[in-house]
């Protein structure tokens, strides 16, 4: 399970759609839709969500957080289904867009490697805008983990009180 347990009510999923994600993107898409339907079912309040796709470009599913209902998840799942691998890994702007919405209470970042930007620069920028909101990092690794990517994602999770 990629998204084991989404505990926060209002979450943004940041999904890496860089070229290196080509082989695993179909699994990420399936499990993201499944996680959204579970979020509807297991949430006690009125959960909100958004999705940010990132490669060299950033694309938001919605311009703001949306109430998580079976109907909105059905609409989002059509959008998710259209996601495809492209070039670049603009992790920093994806995180900044997610945290730019004050309704967002946590970010679930799914990636398979290092960002295009300097990891230290990303940690600095996110540190200014996260406001104690966690980043839960999901690292999809191939045969062998990339040490630099692991270190960056662990640091991001630690600095935002998220998980890795």
pLDDT for 128 beyond 90: no
Q: What's the rounded Cα separation, in Å, for the pair 21 and 138? A: 13
In 55-152, DSSP assigns E strands to 58-60, 66-67, 106-111, 135-139
| pLDDT of 2 | 84
Pairing of strands 106-111, 66-67: unpaired
Higher pLDDT, 141 or 33: 33
Q: Residue 99 in contact with residue 130, Cβ under 8 Å?
A: yes
Higher pLDDT, 130 or 59: 59
Q: What's the rounded Cα separation, in Å, for the pair 15 and 52? A: 6
| Angle between helical axes of 91-99 and 119-129 (0-180°, round to 10) | 0
| pLDDT of 1 | 78
Architecture of the 10-160 domain = 3-Layer(aba) Sandwich (3.40)
Mean pLDDT estimate for the chain: 94
What residue ranges do the domains of the chain occupy? 10-160
pLDDT for 162 beyond 80: yes
Q: What's the rounded Cα separation, in Å, for the pair 153 and 164? A: 7
pLDDT for 14 beyond 80: yes
| pLDDT of 41 | 83
Q: What is the largest CA-CA distance in the chain?
A: 41
* Residue 67 C-alpha from the chain's centroid: 17
Is the Cα dihedral 103, 108, 112, 114 positive or negative?
A: positive
pLDDT per position as a tens digit, 34-65: 999 998 887 777 899 999 999 999 999 999 99
Neighbouring-strand partners of residue 11: 49, 106
């Amino acid at each position: 399970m990629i998204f084991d347990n989404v505990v926060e009510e209002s979450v943004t999923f940041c999904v890496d759609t860089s070229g290196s994600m080509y082989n695993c993107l179909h699994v990420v898409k399936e499990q993201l839709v499944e996680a959204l339907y579970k979020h509807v079912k297991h949430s006690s309040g009125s959960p909100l969500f958004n999705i940010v796709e990132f490669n060299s470009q950033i694309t938001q599913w919605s311009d703001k957080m949306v109430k998580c209902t079976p109907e909105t998840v059905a609409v989002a799942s059509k959008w998710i289904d259209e996601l495809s691998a492209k070039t670049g890994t603009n992790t920093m702007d994806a995180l900044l867009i997610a945290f730019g919405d004050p309704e967002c209470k946590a970010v679930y970042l799914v990636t398979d490697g290092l960002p295009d930007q300097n990891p230290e620069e990303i940690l600095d920028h996110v540190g200014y805008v996260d406001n104690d909101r966690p980043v839960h990092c999901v690292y999809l690794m191939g045969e062998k983990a990339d040490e630099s990517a692991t270190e960056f994602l662990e640091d991001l999770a630690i600095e935002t009180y998220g998980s890795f």
